[in-house]
Amino acid sequence: MLRKDLFRRPKNELEDYFKSSKKASAPDVPGEMCILCPKCKSTLFTSSLNENCRVCTKCGYHFRMNARQRVDFISDDDTFTELFSDMRSKNPIEFPNYTEKLKHARLESAQKEAVVCGTAKIGGFDCALFVMEPNFMMGSMGTVVGDKITLLFEYATEQSLPVIGFIVSGGARMQEGILSLMQMAKTSGAVKLHSDAGNLYIAVLTDPTTGGVTASFGMEADITLSEPNALIGFAGPRVIEQTIRQKLPSGFQRAEFLVEKGFVDSVVNRKDEKKLVSKLLSLHKKEDL
């Protein structure tokens, strides 16, 4: 039987989803006091949203969080020490408009690159921490992101520290071509050496985690947690829909789906993240030598 919509472009719910969420999570410029929840359509005060760790007070929808907000949220007060903060991308393959794009991303995110690395205490436990920045080219991985994550894992291996990573990324950064792809292998190697030395790595996958980051350090943790409803996958949903000419089932590639399929250990609400990570760190505390 011929399906009626066979030759029609499949409706992509995500396009609407991204549109509305982009509008809803517009940067907190002064004057913009209210924000619309894309899920329950409630109007929320930005201040109360931020106080509630950017989770909708009405329906529990998790808004995106920038890297600095997350660092403050997860680490104990005044314990975060940033590492490798000076590293900035060049335009290694002279990709058109990339230099301008980087400038724009730096302004938009107020960060030098798409990941913030350092050491911190979480619930009193020492760890190495990396947090990716959604406002910097959607957390994409170029050579500097690859370098910083590799350096952090190497530092953590040397110091016998667990690594906690908050991941948000569209994948490998196209503008650095093959060099971005090589970062997948490089970071994976650093994760492996950290793991072989008996150290713990906890990844918290947040919305969205896709592409080359899913296919490298995103899926290589000892414990993989995820925030509710986060999009997690290798190929993006739009690409899949275009390839198979078929609408994707609802909930496909969402965090809960990945738990069901056996690729994520647990979905955790943002407000419980710190407690859970602290507990896990305490259970993996190394005996004094």
Tally the residues of the chain: 289
The answer to whether 165 contacts another protein (rule: CB under 8 A) is no
Task: Give yes or no for residue 178 binding another protein (CB under 8 A).
Answer: yes
Q: Rounded CA gap, 272 and 177, in Å?
A: 38
Give the DSSP letter of residue 137.
G
Nearer to another protein, 38 or 170 (CB): 170
Answer for which of 19, 90, 103, 275 binds another protein (CB under 8 A) is 90
Nearest residue (CB) to another protein, 235 versus 267 = 235
Residue selected from 57, 188, 222, 256 as contacting another protein according to rule CB under 8 A: 188
Q: What is the DSSP string of 138-202?
A: GG-B-HHHHHHHHHHHHHHHHHT--EEEEEEE--B-GGGHHHHHHHHHHHHHHHHHHHHTT--EE
Residues in 140-159 that interact with another protein by CB under 8 A: 143-144, 146-147, 150
Separation in Å, CA 200 to CA 77, 94, 163, 269: 23, 38, 6, 21
Q: Which of residues 220-249 bind another protein (CB under 8 A)?
A: 220, 232-235, 239-240, 243-244, 246, 248-249
162 binds another protein (CB under 8 A): no
Q: Which of residues 99-128 bind another protein (CB under 8 A)?
A: 112
18 binds another protein (CB under 8 A): no
203 has which bridge partners? 165, 224
* Nearest Cα residue to 131 out of 73, 183, 58: 73
The encoded tokens of residue 210 equal 């896709």
Judged by CB under 8 A, which of 57, 95, 222, 229 binds another protein? 95
Whole-number minimum distance, CB 282 to another protein, in Å? Answer: 27
**Cβ 155 to another protein shortest distance, Å:** 14
**CA pair distance 89, 266, nearest whole angstrom:** 34
CA distances from 230 to 20, 163, 205, 215 (A): 16, 21, 7, 16
Least distance (Å) between residue 216 CB and another protein: 5
Nearest CB to another protein, comparing residues 75 and 143: 143
Neighbours of 3 (CB within 10 A): 9
Q: Residue 211 interacts with another protein (CB under 8 A)? A: yes
166 within 8 A of 206, measured Cβ to Cβ: yes
Residue from 77, 78, 86, 288 binding another protein (CB under 8 A): 86
Considering only CA atoms, give the Rg of the chain.
19
C-beta closer to another protein: residue 169 or 278: 169
> Can you tell me the distance from the alpha carbon of 21 to that of 17, in angstroms, rounded to the nearest whole number?
6
Task: Select from 39-47, 66-74, 127-135, 213-221 the region that touches another protein (CB under 8 A).
Answer: 213-221
The yes or no reply on residue 259 touching another protein (CB under 8 A) is no
Chain residues binding another protein by CB under 8 A are 86-90, 92-93, 95-96, 112, 143-144, 146-147, 150, 172, 174, 176-186, 188-189, 191-193, 195-196, 211-212, 214-220, 232-235, 239-240, 243-244, 246, 248-249, 252-253, 261-263
